[in-house]
Structure 1
């Protein structure tokens, strides 16, 4: 009885060892290929995002825009790299991509207003209708620009109030920049009385 159990355990161990050897022969090239794809892809992503940052610096883009665009590019390329690695291993990525698209759609719908502010902020950082320190009038507010961010712009009014303007409506509305040319024309109407 004990010999029979010992023989069954030995046979089972031999079977498991042979199965592990077959799996190693089958999956080792895929795993090595996936590791190589990840390493080469990570190196390419690092070089590409550095080149984009240098190009934006050369063209004098806003630092917050440079950081944002560089990290956005790095994130998107990393997701694509991980999909390529998973596919090399043998995982089915169509369902994963569908889930990723659904999550992106849900997040986009939830952040509808924020996405408009974000898009407006990117457009204003690209086209620069004003810069920090300029005196502007927009959305019935007038003040000096303290900070220009991705989602909103902060101005300081003449009566020392801090006003936060969302970039979505700001980018599609009328902006009067009083300091673009350095000189302001002021018309003063004077009444004179002759006695």
Structure 2
């Protein structure tokens, strides 16, 4: 018992030092966990405000939580004297390996985030993208689903959509449509124009202004 007390007396400064470090590390860990949850909820609210699909917002917010929490753990370990450089190097190497293995998927993910943030189109819009045209049915983090006029469903990688021009036919309230109507060589052109004008005048979807 005396030997234990003597050891405690001799090393009281060291014990106090590491005790304080451990308490600080615990505070960092607990506070970091709360900050990670706050950042995740903030991200999810931001996506919900933009009316992004719930599955997508949950997925992105979970990634934000994991990144912030991982940084918190490294800070807490560093506070108690554990060398974190090797951990960071291992995580970096693992991240590089995974990134190379999932290069296509990560490209689709990044493009999906851009689509969500920039909003070049939304569900229900009729667009031409990636060499295809159709109505957007669902926007997901890796792919976008559209339905063609002949009722075919196309699931297109987001990277293909963002790598080319996007034509959104539904963005503006009005749109001009050019239609070529053929008539016979012996037809009365004046009569044909009158018939077409009558049809257009009686069509409620045709705007008078702009003509």
TM-score (normalizing by structure 2): 0.73
Match of 2:52 among 44, 62, 69: 62
Question: What's the Cα RMSD here?
Answer: 2.8
User: Higher relative contact order at CA 8 Å, sep ≥6: structure 1 or structure 2?
Assistant: 1
Per-residue deviation at 1:70? 2.9
The corresponding residue for 2:154 is 163
Name whichever structure is richer in helix by fraction: 1
Query: How is 1:81-120 mapped onto 2 (pairs within 5 angstroms)?
Result: 81-120=72-111
State whether residues 61 and 125 of structure 1, in contact with CA within 8 Å, keep that contact through their aligned partners in structure 2: no
Matched, 1:25 2:25: no
Query: How is 1:23-62 mapped onto 2 (pairs within 5 angstroms)?
Result: 25=15, 27-58=18-49, 60=50, 62=52
State whether residues 117 and 151 of structure 1, in contact with CA within 8 Å, keep that contact through their aligned partners in structure 2: yes
State whether residues 121 and 168 of structure 1, in contact with CA within 8 Å, keep that contact through their aligned partners in structure 2: yes
SS in 2 for 1:170: helix
SS in 2 for 1:143: strand
Q: Distance in 1 between matches of 2:115 and 2:141?
A: 9
Q: Distance in 1 between matches of 2:164 and 2:26?
A: 50
The corresponding residue for 1:138 is 129
The corresponding residue for 1:148 is 139
Gaps of 5+ in 2: 188-211
- Matched length: 181
Q: Distance in 1 between matches of 2:58 and 2:7?
A: 47
SS in 1 for 2:116: helix
In the superposition, relative to structure 1, how do residues 130 and 90 fare at CA in structure 2: closer, same or farther (>3 Å)? same
In the superposition, relative to structure 1, how do residues 155 and 57 fare at CA in structure 2: closer, same or farther (>3 Å)? closer
Match of 2:65 among 35, 50, 74: 74
Q: Distance in 2 between matches of 1:97 and 1:190?
A: 68
